[in-house]
Every structure is written in C-alpha cells, then in structure tokens.
Amino acid sequence: MRGHRFEKLEGGFRWIPVELPDDPAAVERDEAGEELLLKERLLKVGAPQRHVSCTPEFVGDWAARLQLIDGMMGTGFTLGLIGARGNGKTQMGVWLMKFCLRSGKTARYTTAAGFFMEIRACFKRDTEHTEEEIVKKYRQPSFLVIDELGKRSDSDWENTMLFELLNKRYADQTDTLLIANLPATEFAKTIGASISSRMSEAGGIIECDWESFR
C-alpha cells in the first residue's frame, strides 16, 4: 500500500511516496502520537506555542535557508539570522529545534530578555536558583535559539552575561542561533566585537531578505 510523508532530503524538503503497512490507521495513530510528544517537548524547552503548532510550506528562500542551517548542525556554529519582521526567522529556529529533538539531541529556546530576566530573578531573596545554574541551563543544550536579540538594553551587565554564555557555547562547540530584526551593521553592534569575531570563524550571518509572511 502506498502513501506519502514529509522528509528531509539532500536536495531539499518535500513529501515523498512510501510503502505503508496494511493498517494505515495504526500508522497514522503512531505518527500522531509521536508528533504530539515532540510538540510537548518543544513547549517544555521554551518554544513558542504559535510556532510549535504551525507547519510552514517548505518552498522558496525560507526552505533554502532552513536547509543551509540544517546542514551546519553539529558543527559548533554561532550563527546570526537577521532581517525584517515577519519573514519566518523564529519559525525556522523552532523547526530546527524540532529536527534536533527528533534526532535525539537537546535544544532550548529563549528570548534575550527572557534569559536576562531569569538571571535577575536569582538576585531576589529566597531564590531557588543561582546565576551559575541559569547560565548552565542555557549552556548545556546541543542547540540553543536566542530570539529578539535586538530587544535588550545595552548595559554592561547584559553585555557581560551575553558574552559569558555565548563564549562558553563557542568553547564547547555547541550550536547557537541568534535571531534579530536588525540589519547586519546593527546586529554586529548589538552582539559586540568579541562575539562578532567568533561568529566570523564559526558561523557567520544569514540574512532573510524576502517579504513578510504576515
């Protein structure tokens, strides 16, 4: 019996024909269960509900950039994903997280503001966590997405915390995707000269220059 399913292929992303067993309903139930479990795992590691629930069309420049970054996974990159609002950068990050979790590796999502807020919470009385524990939480995953990098203050403290995390992940050779609605010059200024230098060696910047999907 013939059917179709979505798969990553060397040349891109598409629905391909596959052989199905005699009870396709059972296969659909199993696949639906696996998909539900994967979505639950994505939510637990911070991915936004809206993007977890969305299944994009794997066509055009968006799919080409997704394929490019997917081919870099596991190389220890620190990569900037930049461009105007609404063109699918966060969706791309979440879908890459999905690929990562499906392959048995770990992933996590945060906004820059969310990361700093977690650390600031450690300064309160009777807190359950330390600053070092929060940095460790974001240091450990195989793949980390830090979104909305442009929406943060340029304070010395934030710059130090961001450098501390990104430098550790660079040294660990774990993959980090930095997302911002900024042009290249502003993005470089936001992350600072030291991280920019490391990115030029181990990743770089990918610009999303197509029209908004919204």
Give the mean pLDDT per block of 10 residues along the chain (214 residues).
51 54 51 82 96 89 93 96 92 95 95 94 83 94 96 87 95 97 91 91 91 72
Instruction: Give tens-digit pLDDT for 95-114.
Output: 999 999 999 999 999 999 99
Q: What residue type is assigned to position 68 of the chain? A: L
Domains contained in the chain, number: 1
| CATH number of the domain that residue 170 is part of | 3.40.50.300
Report pTM.
0.85
pLDDT of residue 64: 92
Instruction: Say how many CA atoms lie within 13 Å of 86 toward its Cβ.
Output: 4
By residue range, what is the domain housing residue 127?
A: 53-208
Answer yes or no: is 142 within a domain.
yes
- Residue 131 forms part of a structural domain: yes
56-59: long-range pairs with CB below 8 Å, 24+: 56/88, 56/91, 56/95, 58/6, 58/12, 58/13, 58/14
Q: What is the pLDDT of residue 164?
A: 94
With respect to residue 147, please indicate whether it lies within any of the assigned structural domains: yes
DSSP letter for 8, please: E
* Cβ–Cβ under 8 Å, residues 112 and 74: no
* Among 178, 177, 174, residue whose Cα is nearest residue 149: 178
Confidence (pLDDT) at 151: 85
State whether residue 111 is helix, strand or coil: strand
